[in-house]
Structure 1
Amino acid sequence: MRKRIAIVTGATGGIGKEFARLLMKEPVDEIWAVARNQEKLELLKSEYGEKVIPLSKDLSSTKDLCEIGELLEDTKPVVQYLINNAGLAKMGSYKDFTLEEIEKTINVNCKAPVMLSNLCIPYMEKGSCILNISSASAFQPTPYINLYAASKAFERSYSRALNVEVASLGITVTAVCPSWVDTEMLEKEINGHKVKFPGLVTAKAAAEQAMKDAKRGKDMSVCSFYVKCQHLYVKLMPQKLSMKIWMNELKKYL
């Protein structure tokens, strides 16, 4: 009998670790936990048990992504869940980014989810789910996190379109679009100012809502009333105005 697996990228912290925790309760034989830091992966395994299979991979590398494909080919499992959670985020002006940072952000946030989806779909069955962790910043252009927001807009659009393509296979693809999530990625202070994060939610809340929505067959998941309101008003409001409001809130940190 083919074993059932879940794959979680960025599995050692934040939302990724919460997904790993939730997957321990799911009917899967293994959880392939993907991250760069081998030590953190081993800590995850020691905390959650033998079900966790640590895979130390750099998701900005095509070679490492293809190695995951080779593992799938060798083991031929049923992929019950693919959770593309790994992501890079940096707040700042376009001038603050090196070319290497730009390339790495696009590779991790855009290329990796697409490649892993294509690698995993042949091993999926009816009821399998892909969850791509996008962001509420995907709803509109967002200055000073422009690269991150644009990459998440790509991920949201890709996910919803792919969901239509694989519907006949019984596979669900969900774009997970939380707003601010309380993880180590958030900069708590900028230029001496403590940052306020409206609508802040825990990683646990975001992951639990995402799993519920994926099981319900939704192509998009939001985890709070705040984000639902945000999604509505950016539909109704001119994008130039939404960017002006954002910049007004941001100016004290610049």
Structure 2
Amino acid sequence: MHKKIAIITGATGGIGKEFTRLLIKEHLDEIWIIARNQEKLDLLKNEYGERIVPISKDLTNTKDLCEIGKLLEDTKPIVQYLINNASLAKMGSYKEFTVEEIENTINVNCKAPVILSNLCIPYMEKGSCILNISSASAFQPNPYINLYAASKAFERSYSRALNVEVAPLGITVTAVCPSWVDTDMLTKTINGHKVRFPGMVTAKKVAEKAIKDTKKGKDMSICSLYVKCQHINVKLLPHRIVMKIWMNGLRKYL
């Protein structure tokens, strides 16, 4: 009998922890939680019990990603959910990024979800789901989070295209596109100014809506009216106008 499992990357922070909380209620034999920090992984296991399998891996490292593939080969589970939640985000000018930061952001936000999806699809069956945590920043170019926004645009586009490819297998791929989410990932102050995040939502709301949407077969999950309006606006307005609006909101922090 093959074990039915979920795999969650970035499981020890905000949205990842909420997905763990939700999926522990489902009929899954194991939930593989993946992050770098072993101590935080162990705390989640202590909180949710024996069905949690902590896996400490660095998703910037292709070797570590392939080792997850080896674990799948060895155990031959049914992967009910793959949730590519791990992400790197840094606000700031292009001048503030090191080569290593650029490379790591692309590796975690773009390379890792693609490799893990390809590794997991052979172990999926009808009704299995891939959720790639993208962002409302994927809808348009965003100066001063240009790398993050571009990487999330990649993730959204990849997810929607992959969803069409795997539809004959009965697998759903959903790009989850929240706006600002209240997690430790957000920079709370810039140059002495408290940052205002319009339309901010909780990680709980994002995760709950994402699970509902993927079960309905949607290729995109948008969790708030604010983001729905944003999605419509960027379809109607030229991107140069959208970027001007964005820059007007940023001006006091620069």
Fold match by TM threshold 0.5: yes
Shorter-chain TM-score tier: over 0.9
Structure 2: which amino acid aligns with 1:174?
T
Q: TM-score, normalised by structure 2?
A: 1.00
Q: What residue is the counterpart of 1:183 in the other structure? A: 183
Q: Counterpart of 1:119 in 2: which secondary structure?
A: helix
CA distance in 2, matches of 1:73, 1:237: 48
Q: What residue is the counterpart of 2:6 in the other structure? A: 6
Q: What residue is the counterpart of 1:237 in the other structure? A: 237
Q: Counterpart of 1:39 in 2: which secondary structure?
A: helix
Q: What residue is the counterpart of 2:91 in the other structure? A: 91
CA distance in 1, matches of 2:112, 2:28: 23
**Unpaired segments ≥5 residues, structure 1:** none
Q: What residue is the counterpart of 2:102 in the other structure? A: 102
Q: Counterpart of 1:6 in 2: which secondary structure?
A: strand
Deviations 1:203-228 (A, max 9, x none): 00000000000000000001000000
Poorly superposed stretches of 4+, deviation over 4 Å: none
Q: TM-score, normalised by structure 1?
A: 1.00
Instruction: Indicate yes or no: 2:166 matched with 1:166.
Output: yes
Aligned length: 254
Q: What residue is the counterpart of 1:218 in the other structure? A: 218
Structure 1: which amino acid aligns with 2:55?
L
CA distance in 2, matches of 1:173, 1:26: 19
Structure 2: which amino acid aligns with 1:64?
D
CA distance in 1, matches of 2:249, 2:9: 32
Q: What residue is the counterpart of 1:147 in the other structure? A: 147
Structure 2: which amino acid aligns with 1:190?
I
**Which is worse superposed, 21-30 or 77-86?**
21-30
CA distance in 2, matches of 1:169, 1:28: 20
Q: What residue is the counterpart of 2:156 in the other structure? A: 156
- In the TM superposition, residue 27 of structure 1 has moved relative to its aligned partner by 1.2
Q: What residue is the counterpart of 1:120 in the other structure? A: 120
Q: What residue is the counterpart of 1:27 in the other structure? A: 27
Structure 2: which amino acid aligns with 1:54?
P
Q: What residue is the counterpart of 2:47 in the other structure? A: 47
- In the TM superposition, residue 13 of structure 1 has moved relative to its aligned partner by 1.3
Structure 2: which amino acid aligns with 1:238?
P
CA distance in 2, matches of 1:142, 1:221: 20
CA RMSD of aligned residues (A): 0.3
- In the TM superposition, residue 156 of structure 1 has moved relative to its aligned partner by 0.0
Deviations 1:21-63 (A, max 9, x none): 0000111100000000000000000011111100000000000
Instruction: Indicate yes or no: 2:71 matched with 1:71.
Output: yes
Structure 2: which amino acid aligns with 1:253?
Y
Deviations 1:81-126 (A, max 9, x none): 0000000000000000000000000000000000000000000000
CA distance in 1, matches of 2:119, 2:78: 12
CA distance in 1, matches of 2:169, 2:242: 38
**Unpaired segments ≥5 residues, structure 2:** none
CA distance in 2, matches of 1:101, 1:26: 37
Percent identity of equivalent pairs: 81
Q: Counterpart of 1:19 in 2: which secondary structure?
A: helix
Structure 1: which amino acid aligns with 2:140?
Q
